[in-house]
Amino acid sequence: MADIKLLHDLRARLGNVIVGQEALLDRLVIALLAGGHVLLEGPPGLAKTTVVHALATSVDAQYQRVQFTPDLIPGDLTGSDIYDASTGTFRFIPGPLFHEILLADEINRAPPKVQSALLEAMAEHQVTVGGVTRVLPLLFMVLATQNPLEQSGTYRLPEAQLDRFLFQIILDYPDLEQEIEISRRARKAHVEEGLTAVLKPVDILASREQVNDVFIDEKIERYAVEVVTATRNLSKYLPQWGEMIQTGASPRASIALLRSAMARAFLDDRDYVIPEDVIELAGDVLRHRIVLDFSAQAEDINADTIISSLLNTISQP
């Protein structure tokens, strides 16, 4: 049985490395517990790579960073069969996907074929090379980044792949005091160098089993699912914006919202889910699963605006 104190220690260790970004750190630990992937979106210089490396180090996980570029090919991720002249046979050389935590930096710069290879790994927990399917590590987590400021030379992620991310987390610049503290730390020894593992992948897998035992009342379950289905029937809840959504969130979003709410409750030392768990995580679970039309952009309406309005409209249990 996993020790909840180790998870709290993990959260504290991440806080020692990253100044501010409290919501990001909470979501990373929740995603780790829920067994989900995370899409980080924000401008450069916000320590996205640093926090992912700190997370991998703190859980003693095999970690690999891949810089996605237009010339990347699927084999660069999955690995490939290499001819061994000494034996006269082909042997498989595993690629970065066979690590437990993968940082896919600027994921939208990779061409569709590479994105498809990553989709199989995220969705099926396996990769297929040369007609042979190989299973990935039990603890397999993709943390991908996107830069919203630069769209030239990028390939938009398809909805099917976006749907495989548990969270999309929007990062913003730190405030004045936080940036002063960041500058002070940068002038001293690198905090990350002193990190040691506080728990192991087997501890995370054990914690996931305990998350399964967290209780969800039927009323809260219904509430969470109604929030998700409302994105597919917006006219019923927000008629003024009813025609602005092209595609709402899929049933996979309901599973993701409930699973992450259970993980948040577990991290808070509760064996039951409360409505605040659903409300707190709804934006990060749903924003990348909603496709808006041009009229929404013209009126400066985004997914967060719609999600927030739905949470205010639908009665809480």
DSSP for residue 315: P
Q: What is the pLDDT of residue 2?
A: 56
Prediction pTM value: 0.89
DSSP 3-state helix, strand, coil percentages of the chain (rounded to 5)?
50, 15, 30
Nearest to 311 by CA among 231, 243, 253: 231
Q: What is the pLDDT of residue 112?
A: 86
Q: What is the pLDDT of residue 184?
A: 80
Distance CA 194, CA 201 (A): 20
pLDDT tens-digit map of 71-119: 899 899 998 888 888 888 888 889 999 999 999 998 888 888 888 888 8
Distance CA 228, CA 287 (A): 11
Report the pLDDT averaged over residues 275-282.
Answer: 96
Report the pLDDT averaged over residues 169-194.
Answer: 75
Q: Which two tokens stand for residue 8?
A: 């709290």
Integer CA distances (angstroms), 173 to 15, 26, 52, 130, 271, in order: 16, 18, 18, 44, 35
Asked if the model's pLDDT at residue 240 lies above 90, the reply is: no
Report the pLDDT averaged over residues 194-222.
Answer: 90
Asked if the model's pLDDT at residue 55 lies above 50, the reply is: yes
Instruction: Give the model's confidence band at 155: pLDDT under 50 very low, under 70 low, under 90 confident, else very high.
Output: confident
Asked if the model's pLDDT at residue 285 lies above 70, the reply is: yes
Distance CA 49, CA 220 (A): 35
Q: What is the pLDDT of residue 53?
A: 86
Report the DSSP pairing between strands 79-84 and 89-94: antiparallel
Q: Among positive and negative, which fits the CA dihedral 291, 297, 299, 305?
A: positive
Task: Find the helix or strand (DSSP H, E) in which 8 lies.
Answer: helix 4-17
Report the pLDDT averaged over residues 231-236.
Answer: 91
Instruction: Give the model's confidence band at 311: pLDDT under 50 very low, under 70 low, under 90 confident, else very high.
Output: very high
Nearest to 237 by CA among 314, 127, 304, 138: 314
- Tokens 């899929």 sit on residue: 250
Looking at the chain, how many residues does it have? Answer: 317
Nearest to 170 by CA among 272, 36, 27, 58: 27
Asked if the model's pLDDT at residue 8 lies above 60, the reply is: yes
Ordered domains of the chain (ranges, CATH)? 4-207 (3.40.50.300), 213-313 (1.10.8.80)
Instruction: Give the model's confidence band at 1: pLDDT under 50 very low, under 70 low, under 90 confident, else very high.
Output: very low
Amino acid at residue number 43: P
